[in-house]
Amino acid sequence: MQMYSGETNGLINAQAYHDARHTTGNIETVDWTEPGLRITRLRLLTDRGFPMYDVSYCHGMVGDKHVDVQLPFYQLEKRRWKSNILWYAKRDRVYAKGLGIFRRDVVSTLV
């Protein structure tokens, strides 16, 4: 996979990552309010000069099961993306930090 200069926390081998997730069978989609959910990857995309991130995907684990995570947003402000997530978390009574959604090794951005 080509690493772009505007990329943070890119996957070394994206194809292998996605293939490995799907070898476990059908991937269930769960809401971010799912008990026991741990977010493992949040992929944010944008264009230079555009003020928002688009959510490309969000992956997680519930126990030892890989899941896709349904978030209540599809865009976040670049400058305030963490506070945007916190706003939704408060609304939905989700402990965002406890999900791991802010961890450096979880969040990946591409400009």
| Over residues 81-97, mean pLDDT | 98
Do 36 and 16 form a contact (C-beta atoms < 8 A)?
no
Strand (E) or helix (H) holding 92? helix 81-92
Q: What's this model's pTM, rounded to 2 decimal places?
A: 0.83
User: pLDDT for 19-58, tens place per residue?
Assistant: 666 666 688 999 999 999 999 999 999 999 999 999 999 9
Confidence of residue 96 (pLDDT cuts 50, 70, 90): very high
pLDDT at 3 over 50: no
